């Protein structure tokens, strides 16, 4: 994963910290841009995956839009160069202040998640004498076959609008002068590695489009969300997800009407593999049946394993000794502060450097100060000589 000068650089820094391989990020962006351009697809980067300004400014330099879920994400994306007319804004709980900010910023589109939200956007847009572009975030009832905490598109879910609410929404829209329905939006979950799930999504979108067509409505934009997964088990074998087949699948299975444009909101697949959390072993402690490698990084730096039992590949960068099994844990006063159980690592000792791989998405951005810990800093490959 790293050469000796990078290792020496790591060794000279205070741990833990995030390390970003900017060449890998750039190569991922090149691949996405090339594959999406074949079909004129629009890509909005899901800011929630990683909002580090250096990461954002590189991503926006490729011309992608931003997918935001809060007012502060809208602000951060604008500050880092994303064009406001490429910002989409989702979220089940948009506050009045956030809606005002989005309207004042003239974002491209609100992805609306409920009838009460649509009514509030209408009211605020009216008070500002503006017209809000909206898309309906529809709950397609497609199971993403991923962890239940990151499944968002099944019927009993807080996200999105269910089909039995369509009639009521159309009647609100018919009366409104301040709402402009421009799209249908879908997002069924995250870390989806089985492409057939996206095929099911396309089939469902086609059915939903037929319903709208029967009601004389053809929207200009179909937003299929994000969710494309990465290879957490073998990051070096698949550093860049297979964007070619991913985009081709939508081309094959999504039935578009004339002049409809397709949008994607990719997060994890763009930034997941470029980041690693680098930490140091504080202690190796003998348990009853196991050995614990206790790191100076914990769930406050990378929450995913504690939050949804996520797997991350763990590597010892300092040792070439024969392998042994360790429970790799952090220093936080919670039993869930564990990065992996029975992890095979070369014999590990105090001060060894440990890399927790594939941590570029939903890593740094979820950091907290719980236990009053300092938030980890970040370093970038293109700054290391």
Ligand X SMILES: Cc1ncc(COP(=O)(O)O)c(C=O)c1O
The residue ranges that bind ligand X (CB under 6 A) are 46, 48-49, 67, 90, 187, 190, 225-228, 265-269, 361
Closest CA to 338 of 350, 323, 356, 319: 356
Percent helix, strand and coil across the chain, each to the nearest 5: 35, 25, 40
Q: How far is the CB of 14 from ligand X (least distance, A)?
A: 29
Minimum gap (Å) between residue 339 Cβ and ligand X: 21
Closer of 64 and 228 to ligand X (Cβ): 228
Shortest Cβ 96–ligand X spacing (Å): 21
**Closer residue to ligand X, CB minimum distance, 78 or 90:** 90
- Give least dist CB 148 to ligand X, A: 14
Per the CB < 8 A criterion, the answer to whether 208 and 138 are in contact is: yes
Minimum distance, C-beta of residue 59 to ligand X, in the bound complex (Å) = 13
| CB of residue 358 to ligand X, shortest distance in Å | 12
Nearer to ligand X, 154 or 282 (CB): 154
Report long-range pairs for 173-178 (Cβ below 8 Å, ≥24 apart): 176/122, 177/126, 177/131, 178/122, 178/125, 178/126, 178/130, 178/131, 178/132
Residue 298 or 360 having the CB closest to ligand X: 360
Q: Which is nearer to ligand X, 250 or 326 (CB)?
A: 250
Structure tokens at 49: 């995956």
Phi, psi of 2 (to 5 degrees): -135, 155
Q: Which is nearer to ligand X, 142 or 295 (CB)?
A: 142
Q: How far is residue 287's CA from residue 328's CA, in Å, rounded to a whole number?
A: 12
Q: Which is nearer to ligand X, 88 or 295 (CB)?
A: 88
* Least distance from ligand X to the Cβ atom of residue 119, Å: 21
Smallest CA-to-CA distance from 163 within 228, 223, 216, 209 is with: 209
Task: Note the helical H segments in the chain.
Answer: 4-12, 22-37, 53-60, 71-79, 96-104, 115-127, 166-175, 195-214, 243-253, 268-271, 304-308
Q: Which is nearer to ligand X, 151 or 176 (CB)?
A: 151
Q: How far apart are CA 335 and CA 357, in angstroms?
A: 22
**Three-class SS of residue 22?**
helix
SS3 275: strand
At closest approach, how far in Å is the CB of 23 from ligand X?
21
Exposure of 317 by Cβ count < 10 A (0-12 exposed, 13-18 middle, 19+ buried)?
A: middle
Distance in Å, CB of 267 to ligand X, minimum: 3
Q: Which is nearer to ligand X, 19 or 362 (CB)?
A: 362
The Cα–Cα gap between 24 and 1 comes to 11
- Contact between 281 and 354 under an 8 Å Cβ cutoff? The reply is yes
**Structure tokens, 220:** 């200009």
SS3 state at 73: helix
């Amino acid at each position: 994963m790293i050469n000796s000068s990078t290792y020496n650089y790591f060794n000279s820094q205070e741990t833990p910290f995030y390390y970003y391989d900017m060449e890998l990020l750039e190569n991922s962006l090149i691949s996405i841009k090339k594959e999406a351009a074949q079909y004129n697809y629009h890509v909005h980067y899901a800011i929630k995956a990683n909002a580090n300004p250096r990461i954002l400014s590189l991503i926006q330099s490729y011309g992608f839009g931003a997918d935001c879920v809060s007012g502060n994400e809208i602000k951060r994306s604008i500050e880092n160069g994303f064009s406001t007319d490429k910002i989409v804004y989702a979220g089940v709980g948009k506050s009045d202040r956030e809606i005002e900010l989005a309207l004042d910023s003239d974002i491209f589109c609100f992805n609306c998640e409920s009838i009460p939200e649509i009514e509030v956007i209408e009211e605020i847009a009216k008070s500002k004498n503006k017209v809000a572009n909206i898309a309906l975030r529809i709950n397609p009832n497609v199971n993403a076959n991923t962890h239940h905490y990151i499944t968002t598109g099944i019927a009993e879910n807080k996200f999105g609008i269910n089909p039995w609410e369509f009639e009521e929404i159309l009647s609100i829209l018919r009366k409104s002068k301040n709402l402009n329905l421009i799209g249908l939006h879908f997002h069924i979950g995250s870390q989806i590695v089985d492409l057939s799930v996206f095929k099911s999504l396309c089939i469902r979108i086609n059915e939903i489009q037929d319903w709208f067509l029967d009601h004389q409505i053809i929207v200009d934009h179909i937003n299929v969300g994000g969710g494309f997964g990465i290879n957490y088990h073998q990051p070096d074998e698949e550093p860049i997800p297979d964007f070619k087949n991913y985009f081709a699948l939508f081309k094959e299975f999504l039935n578009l009407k004339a002049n409809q444009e397709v949008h994607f909101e990719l997060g994890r697949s763009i930034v997941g593999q470029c980041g690693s959390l680098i930490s140091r072993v504080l202690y190796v402690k003998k348990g009853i049946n196991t050995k614990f490698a206790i790191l100076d990084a914990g769930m406050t730096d990378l929450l995913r394993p504690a939050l949804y039992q996520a797997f991350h590949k763990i590597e010892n960068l300092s040792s070439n000794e024969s392998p042994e099994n360790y429970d790799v844990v952090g220093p936080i006063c919670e039993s869930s502060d564990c990065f992996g159980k029975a992890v095979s690592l070369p014999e590990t000792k105090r001060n060894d450097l440990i890399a927790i791989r594939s941590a570029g998405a939903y890593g740094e951005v979820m950091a907290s100060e719980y236990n009053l810990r300092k938030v980890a800093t970040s370093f970038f490959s293109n700054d290391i000589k």
